[in-house]
Structure 1
Amino acid sequence: MILPWRKPRAIKKSKKQIPFDDLDMELAIPTHFRCPISLDLMKDPVTLSTGITYDRESIERWIESGNETCPVTKQVLTSFDQIPNHILRRMIQDWCVENRSRGVERIPTPRIPVSPYEISDVCSKIAGATRRRDGKKCGELVMKIKNWGKESERNKRCVVENGMGCVLSACFESFASNSLEKHGNLLGEILSVLSWMFPLGEEGLSKLGSENSLDCIVWFLRNGDLSARQNSVLVLKELLYSNQSHVIMKKLLEIEGIDEALVYLIKDPISPTATKVSLMAIYSIISSSVSNDKISSRFVEMGLVGLILEIVFDAEKSVCEKALTVLDALCNTEQGKEAASKNALIMPIIVKKILRVSDSATELLLSIFWKLCKNERKNGEEALMIEAIQVGAFQKLLVILQVGCGENTKEKVKELLKLLNVYKNRVDCVDSSMDFKYLKRPF
């Protein structure tokens, strides 16, 4: 039986000219070249214990979905081993070469995927080299793992599922406690592999979340090249999102220079992920029960308020929300409120971003607005509230009441309207460009 296969419309130019009428001809793919699951031409044919051949990607997906039978014969698989069918693969490649003039590309020879046995063997070798403090041997093995990961996503999954992350975490901790300068290259390579090895498990997290490991990660955040900083951020993100985040945060607080490293990631951003991780870590530090106003003051002195306002100005939704969360926390301190009040961008950005990012962002903006106005009134000042009216804050607050909001937010809005109403008639220049499309009609 021969099934039809239509040649792609766009084909590469060849020296031999093909008649126009031949361009839409149907090309027949032999049935035994097709995967019984996807019905596509097989790229990496493998044979199961039942004797049926499938494309590796299709049968792996079938097995990973929890199926324990052969899709064609319905027999229970006595083994999940997949034996490469080299003869069939070469026949498919020869067929592709023969039909190259019809736009068929030759299927490349696939690499043999890594096996659990190979991973187990490398794990044992890394553990032994770590005990001997053999950095050179560890480096060679880490590069082998790195190359496995580059070959396919399937290899990555296999490496993660067979406990490599825990072994590498122990290796990282061991050499981080020995000599950072001597083993810097090795530690950087381990970080690059660990960045895609999560979840690690409790033991791996414990090793990677130790004082020595965290100190090394922070060092890479401050002094590493772009790649090392990116890998450090990805690892730190997983640690902060783990179930050991509270313990890890306490250890981070004890590391000298952690605040500078996090602010540096915001000041000199390398990716949205890096910015979000830094903001999340800063918020955890500020709001930590072991923290105090002194820590918040350090962040303010490093110019964090201004950096956050620049982020909020044009950042995407998730980054903007995290930045506003940090700014709201900073505004709980006198130094934070003072720095925010003195920044020329604060009021225009607050008014502009209300109702334009998300409900969560609007609540945060109103909280910041409320704290600043209350602080100004307490100090007997009025410049910030007058500026708020000039940029259209009064109208925006009315829009919020019309649209609807939570009870806590509504109380803040009402109090803000009362505070601003005192100065409303004293302001000559009121922004008339406000978009009132959110207002409900009274009829």
Structure 2
Amino acid sequence: MTRYSNHDHRRLLSSPAVFPCQDISPATLLTSLVSLSLDVCNFQCRLFPTQRRNAREAIRQVGIILIFLQELPEIPQQSPVLCFSELHYSFQKILFLLQDCTRKGARLWMLMKLQYVASQFRVLIRGLATALDVLPLHRIEVCGEVKELVELVANQARKVKFEVDPEDEENSKLVHSILRQFEKGIEPALADIKRVLDYLDIKSWTDCNNEIEFLQDEMDFQYSECDEREVPFLSSLIGFLSYCRGVIFETLDSRNPSDSSEGRCSTETIKCINPEDFRCPISLELMKDPVTVSTGQTYDRTSIQQWLKSGNKICPKTGAKLKNTDLIPNTTLRKLIQQFCVDNGVSLTKLNNPGRDIANTTVPGSPAAAHATQFLSWFLARRLVFGTMDEKNKASYEIRLLARSNIFNRSCLIQVGTVSPLLFLLSTRDKSTQENAIAALLKLSKHNNGKEAIIENGGLKPIVTVLKNGLSPESRQTAAAIIFYLAKQHRRLIGENAEVIPSLVELMKEGTACGKKNAMVALFGLLVLASNHKRVLEANTVPVLVDILASSEKDDVTTDSLAVLAALAENSEGAEAMLKVSALPLITGIMKSTTRKVGKEHCVSILLSLCVNGGEDVIGLMAKDVSIMASLYSLLTDGTSRAAKKARFLMRILQQFNEKPTSSVAPQQTLDVIDLLGRN
């Protein structure tokens, strides 16, 4: 028996119906036809938010054909199987359409597609008529009344009108009217909005959120298919529903905000940095050669050079006048970009496509979406200041969702002043409220203006307090992620705070796996500033990282630990701290055993630094381990170009030591190694 269900992965209004195979037995075909008919007839019209009349008529006609099929003992051998196959195909398509009309989260979109859906009903029912026309009823042994019913269905199917329901049309026009008001910068009447929501039976926060998620999936699909004709309209609908979710629905039903999967583990790690941080603000493409201008902003060299050659004398992002046209290479950012590509197995050229996540979120998807977001942002900002604690908690959660992946939304929320009251909420003793407030601040900290707003409002202190004494592991690890984003522009200020680095190290010791990773990436960001190296070492960071390496079974945690150690080992104090805890055998062992290329490269970087800073004693210990050479040779063939260079340097050092045991590393060779580590 063939059964068809509503698969969420099937795109709305798509119909993967197939004809039965030619060799199917008549008995099997009949059984499947009856099963399909029952599935159609089991739909109840009261479940249809829209298209109730058309759905009722389609179900009625299939129900009559079901009577005929149930009376039929078997498909007669002399009758053409083709007509029954046509029925089977039409039943599948009708079933898919009915499923779409009742699909969770698709109510508003189906209302907007009412003309198309009505025409689909018309086409499918007329397809039934075509199949019934060639059915040789005179050869089939069923009672005369049943034959008359089938003939009646065939006649009606050709004549019946599947038209748009007047109520559907009225509410569709009302939605368009609401969107036009948003587009003009007019806040619609709540009564009109509630009227639409009531008609579609969107009665709760969860119902509204399901609609938003469906529309976002639909928009993502259109981007992936490079068919963006409906994207502005979808953006408008998402803006409208986001406004409804925040303003109309006061209660988060059957859902604890802090239990949402979104933000549950705010992992901002060295290997999982958001690609939007690596895109040039001018071209929106991944930066191959990032350079910094006099205003402190970073661009891809090619893009900023073209900007300057065009006669522009201001910073494209800030609008500030450039003091000079010097372009300073940003080697740290280049290292992060290259590492991101290696970790994810992609090339720069494959990522240099300004996709939807960047290009289409820096500006609003439509004027209606823009104004809806602005109205909602003002509402949420007021709630954060004047609302009850429950209302403040809910507003924090809405900001957390609104700013999740949309740069324009973040900008709006920052402009209306949500940062300051969110920082104030961090001192609450309610775990859920603290989690939502810190998670919302994390999203806003990804925007340059958000970073500045946090610092200007004295936000570092309350964030560090959460980092140290947050009410939940989630709050602490999110605070560490915020430190990472703030460190991009305020490394010195953060490093000079006596509590930040020790708190990050403590989180590495006692935090969850996600907390450890967030603490590592924050430390890595702080280490870009040379003056922070000493502070990180004084916090007893090296022994903690070595303990993590010795006990961790997760490759990603190991890789992150190695990355921080590689940064620390570049100076003599860091190398000395590693040698003091006998890290050398552990690093060489990991280099031999790990299967991750980036992990091997970090190991080689550490070993090179130890050779330079540790001298002959370290080189001698490494030279005794003949198995190291095999790992280095593998990097020459399987590693990245950077890893291969480092492997060659290390092999040369070890070979020269073996040839001349009493010699030391040549001064020029030491400089070459330092230069290699600094550039890569």
The bucket for the TM-score relative to the shorter chain is 0.5 to 0.7
Other-structure match for 1:386? 621
What SS is found at the alignment partner of 1:33? coil
Note the C-alpha offset of 1:263: 0.6
The question of 1:325 aligning with 2:373 is answered no
Kept in 2, the 8 Å contact 1:194–1:235? The answer is yes
In the alignment of these two chains, the number of paired residues is 351
Give the drift of 1:373. 1.9
Q: For 2:49, what is the secondary structure of its paired residue?
A: strand
Conservation of the 8 A alpha-carbon contact between 1:239 and 1:245? yes
Question: What is the one-letter code of the residue matched to 1:33?
Answer: F
Q: Show the 5 A alignment for 1:243-392.
A: 246-272=488-514, 274-288=515-529, 291-292=530-531, 295-313=532-550, 314-354=552-592, 356-377=594-615, 381-382=616-617, 385-386=620-621, 389-390=624-625, 392=627
1:5–1:26 Cα contact (<8 Å) kept? no
| Counterpart AA for 2:646 | T
Paired with 1:146 and 1:45, the residues of 2 have a C-alpha distance of 34
Change (3 A) 1:138 1:110: closer
The structure whose residues are more often helix, as a share, is: 2
Task: Say whether the 8 Å CA contact 1:240–1:281 is kept in structure 2.
Answer: yes
1:237 alignment partner AA: A
Q: Residue 385 of structure 1 aligns to which amino acid in structure 2?
A: G
1:343-398 deviation line (CA, Å, top 9, x unaligned): 22422332433472422222221121112123332xxx426632562473244334
User: For each residue in 1:128-184, what CA deviation from the matched residue of structure 2 results, as whole angstroms up to 9, or x when unmatched?
Assistant: 4666xx6xx44221234478899xx99x999x96966866423124x37xxx7xx43
Output aligned runs, 1:113-124, within 5 Å.
113=208, 116-117=243-244, 119-120=246-247
CA distance in structure 1 between the aligned counterparts of 2:450 and 2:43, rounded to whole angstroms: 44
Q: Deviations over 1:327-357 (max 9, x none)?
A: 1111122211111112224223324334724
Seen in structure 2, the aligned counterparts of structure 1 residues 110 and 359 have a Cα distance that, compared at 3 Å, is closer
Match of 1:170 in 2: 420
Within 2, Cα distance between the matches of 1:46 and 1:300? Answer: 63
Q: Which runs of 5+ in 1 are unaligned?
A: 7-24, 36-41, 90-107, 425-443
CA-CA distance at 1:211 after TM superposition: 5.3
SS class of match (2:208)? coil
2:475 partner amino acid: N
- Separation of aligned partners in 2, 1:209 and 1:48: 53
Per the TM alignment, residue 250 of structure 1 is displaced from its structure 2 partner at its CA by 4.2
Tell me the distance in 1 between the aligned counterparts of 2:626 and 2:48.
67
Cα distance in 2 between the residues matched to 1:354 and 1:55: 53
| CA distance in structure 2 between the partners assigned to 1:32 and 1:147 by the alignment | 39
Residues 201-223 of structure 1 show CA distances to partners (whole Å, capped at 9, x for unaligned) of 66555434545222111111112
Contact 1:222 1:261 survives alignment (8 Å): yes
Aligned partners of 1:366 and 1:412 also within 8 Å = no
With over 3 angstroms needed to count, the CA separation of the structure-2 counterparts of 1:139 and 1:271, relative to structure 1, is farther
Instruction: Give the counterpart of 1:214 among 460, 469, 472.
Output: 460
Q: Residues of 1 paired with 2:463 and 2:109: CA distance? A: 36
Q: Check if 1:141 corresponds to 2:391.
A: yes
Aligned partner of residue 497 in structure 2, secondary structure: coil
Once residues 323 and 84 of structure 1 are traced to their aligned partners in structure 2, the CA distance between those partners, rounded to angstroms, is 53
Q: Label 1:240 to 1:4 Cα distance change in 2 as closer, same or farther (>3 A).
A: same
Q: Which amino acid aligns with 2:631?
A: K
* 2:631 alignment counterpart: 396
Q: Structure 2 stretches of 5 or more lacking a match? A: 6-33, 56-100, 120-163, 177-192, 210-240, 249-375, 662-680
Q: Letter of the aligned partner of 1:417 in structure 2?
A: L
Partners of 1:86 and 1:402 in 2: how far apart? 61
Q: Conserved in 2, the CA contact under 8 Å of 1:331 and 1:371?
A: yes
Change (3 A) 1:199 1:394: closer
Task: Write the distance in 2 (CA, Å) between the matches of 1:223 and 1:417.
Answer: 48
* Contact 2:49-2:199 within 8 A present in 1 as well: yes
Q: TM-score when scaled to structure 2?
A: 0.42
Distance 2:496 2:585 in 1: 35
Going from structure 1 to structure 2, the CA distance change for 1:56 and 1:386 (only over 3 Å counts) comes to closer
Give the SS at the match of 2:39: strand
User: Do the aligned partners of residues 249 and 120 (structure 1) sit closer, same or farther apart at CA in structure 2, a change above 3 Å counting?
Assistant: farther
* Contact persistence 2:566–2:606 (CA under 8 A): yes
Residue 421 of structure 1: aligned partner: 658
- Contact 1:46 / 1:55 at 8 angstroms: preserved in 2? no
Q: Are positions 1:411 and 2:421 aligned together?
A: no
1:33 aligns with 2:283: no
When Rg is computed on C-alpha atoms for both structures, the one with the higher figure is 2
Q: Output the CA distance in 1 between the equivalents of 2:114 and 2:491.
A: 47
Residue 436 of structure 1 corresponds to none
Greater RCO (Cα-Cα under 8 Å, separation 6 or more): 2
Structure 2 letter corresponding to 1:192: N
Say if 1:205 and 1:239, in contact at 8 Å, map to a contact too.
no
Of 187-196 and 341-350, the range deviating more from structure 2: 187-196
1:73 to 112, 118, 128: 118
1:259–1:282 contact (8 Å) kept in structure 2? yes
Secondary structure at the aligned position of 1:55 is classed as coil
Name the CA shift for 1:383/1:56 in 2 (closer, same or farther; >3 Å): closer
Q: Which residue, 36, 48, 58 being the options, matches 2:106?
A: 58
Percent identical pairs in the alignment equals: 16
The normalised TM-score by structure 1 is 0.62
Change (3 A) 1:189 1:164: farther
* Contact 2:588–2:603 (Cα < 8 Å) also in 1: yes
Structure 2 letter corresponding to 1:389: K
- Preserved contact between residue 237 and residue 277 of structure 1 (Cα < 8 Å): yes
Counterpart position of 1:185: 429
